[in-house]
Structure 1
Amino acid sequence: MKRLPPLPALHTFLVTAQHCNFTRAAQHLHITQGAVSRQIAGLEEQLGYPLFQRQARGLSLTREGQDWLPRVQQVFALIEQGVREVGARTATLQLKAPTCVMRWLLPRLMEWQALRPDVPVELTTTVQHGVDFRHEGFDAAVVYGSPPAQGSLVRKLFDEQLTPVCAPSLLQGGMPLERVEDLARHMLLHPSRDERDWRLWLQAAGAAFEPQGRRQHFETLDMAMAMASQGTGVAIGDWALIGDDLRSGRLCMPFALKVMTGKGYYLVCPSKSLPPGLGELLEWLQARASL
């Protein structure tokens, strides 16, 4: 089997054929004119026929050189395409999300990585609910609140729906949770210090009491849900975010009422021109949110 020509020599041939001049080819390749001449001569010796006709005013391709040129151009075009496409597939997508959505988002991203290891995602979590793409280099973000004005592409995941949750064991204890007023006998777990979520739900439920009894505050929704799952008290949670906990039996809903707050969770991108794989990820997350 005949030995294949070396790739650097083929590249030198391609550049020389484009310029038809050893001097200009050497300038383009940042090597000496003598090095270009030697590489072409070595390639011609290996192939067994000349590729250029040396003339006083420059070079011209021989018939064999003319046959070689489109083939070599195709080879390097394929290499360039491969570098571009493979590099794009392995580029890691940068995603930002608030900690309050982690209970829902993290299991879905782990599932995504198992399905699509060729589209890796690096997740940055924050206590902030928004994103500023002018100063933050993320490909996309999950934001919480009202529909965001910033971002060229916005897709809704789900609305916030508040409902009390607790461990199933709490319902089997000595203090029942059959009426809204029964909450006054239990410790209320707050995912924030302003107690806004509990007050909103109690008002919608027509509660005849203010949450002035035993209560405990947490910095994140995750911490409040973790304490509720241990039977410590009753937490107020977002129904859309705790579906996995409800399905697994770690938590249960003592009341059927879910209160819409007018806020929600959104996928936001700084541009409608998406990096490879990001469009698929966004569509997949939206589909998972609708289940």
Structure 2
Amino acid sequence: MKRLPPLPALHTFLITAQCCNFTRAGQQLHISQGAVSRQIAALEAHLGYALFQRQARGLALTREGQDWLPRVQQIFALIEQGVREVGGRSATLQLKAPTCVMRWLLPRLMEWQALRPDVPVELTTTVQHGVDFRREGFDAAVVYGAAPNHGLQVRKLFDEQLTPVCAPSLGQGPMQLQDLTRQMLLHPSRDEHDWRLWLQAASAGFEPQGPKQHFETLDMAMAMASQGTGIAIGDFALIGDDLHAGRLCMPFALKVTTGKGYYLVSPSKTMPTGLVELMEWLQARASSLAQSL
């Protein structure tokens, strides 16, 4: 069996075939023109035929060289793919997400790590709702708002649907809209926009004038609501676990779609296999949650 040609020589052949010039190939390979010429000559001697025709103005591939070129390109493409995919499986994926999605995301990531310890994920939380992959070194992010349209790889998780939520102790028995005037309303933001939007959709006919508390994040408002402090305005898609566990209940059936949503995005068109699998899995978990509620 004939010994295989050395890989460095094949790489030199590939670069030289692309340049058709020993000098330019040497510049790309950071070696001298003479070193390129010697490697090509050694490769031709090993194979037993010429790969290039030496011409006055440069080089031209022989018929054998033309046959070799696509095969060598395929070899190095497979090597590059292997480096990317194997490295993607072993490296820790960096994921960014806003705190408002933590009630849904964190349990899913814990489930993922139990199922796929070979694809570890490091989560960074933020009060920001977006991501700038040009400045931030994340592999993927969960973003909140309108559907992203900036050339990213995008997977929709779920739409935002606002609905009042409270502890079961407050939600026992039927509740009327007027009852909200006697309850403490918990606001996930200072502008009280979410509550106003829901009350308008419910045709309540009144502005919230009773006792109220403001919080910096939706998650904090949900936590206080689960303790019976008052009634919060929450996102239906994010409270499924709390509803199933009985920590929260919905005193009203009305859910108001805001036009915003939660999206899983990545900047790369050639994502590591582990990242693709994680994004597909999270999207599937979001779909199954929506169907179960």
Alignment match of 2:185 (pick from 162, 183, 188): 188
Match of 1:140 in 2: 140
The answer as to whether partners of 2:84 and 2:272 remain within 8 angstroms in 1 is no
- Quick one: which amino acid aligns to residue 223 of structure 1? M
**Structure 1 pair 228–87 and aligned structure 2 pair: CA distance change class (3 A):** same
**How far apart in 1 are the matches of 2:95 and 2:126?**
11
Contact kept, 8 Å, 2:88 with 2:275, in 1: the verdict is: no
Q: 5 Å matches for 1:222-261?
A: 222-261=219-258
Supply the AA of the counterpart residue of 1:219: E
Structure 1 residue runs of 5 or longer lacking an equivalent are 1-13, 19-59, 62-76
- Return the offset for 1:151: 3.9
Distance in 2, matches of 1:262 and 1:159, equals: 7
Correspondences of 1:276-287 after superposition (within 5 Å): 276-287=273-284
C-alpha distance in 2 between matches for 1:210 and 1:16: 75
TM value normalised by structure 2: 0.69
Matched positions, count: 222
Corresponding residue SS for 1:264: strand
TM-score for the superposition, normalised by structure 1: 0.70
Larger radius of gyration: 1
Alpha carbons 2:96, 2:141 under 8 Å: kept: yes
Q: What is aligned with 2:170?
A: 170
- Whole-angstrom CA distance in 2 between matches of 1:133 and 1:17: 38
C-alpha separation in 1, matches of 2:8 and 2:200 = 80
For the residue of structure 2 that corresponds to 1:257, the secondary structure is: coil
Distance 1:82 1:245 in 2: 42
Q: 1:87 to 1:181 in 2, by over 3 A?
A: same
Alignment of 1:101-140 (within 5 A): 101-140=101-140
Deviation (angstroms), 1:98: 0.6
What does residue 28 of structure 1 align with? none
**CA distance in structure 2 between the partners assigned to 1:240 and 1:187 by the alignment:** 23
* Aligned residues of 1:177 and 1:183 also touching (Cα < 8 A): no
Which SS does the other structure have where 2:96 is aligned?
strand
Task: Please give the secondary structure, in 1, of the residue aligned with 2:178.
Answer: helix
Query: Deviations for 1:18-42, whole angstroms, at most 9, x for unmatched residues?
Result: 9xxxxxxxxxxxxxxxxxxxxxxxx
Equivalent pairs: percent with the same residue? 81
Match runs of 1:93-104 below 5 Å: 93-104=93-104
Instruction: Give yes or no for the alignment of 1:205 onto 2:202.
Output: yes
Q: For residues 204-241 of structure 1, what are the alpha-carbon distances to aligned partners after superposition, in whole Å with 9 as ceiling and x for unaligned? A: 00102101210000001111111101111000000000
Contact 1:139 1:275 (8 Å CA) reproduced: no
- Alignment partner, residue 91 of structure 1: 91
4+ residue segments displaced more than 4 Å = 14-18, 79-86
Q: Give me the CA root mean square deviation.
A: 2.7
Which residue identity does 2:200 align to in structure 1? Q
Map of 1:24 onto structure 2: none
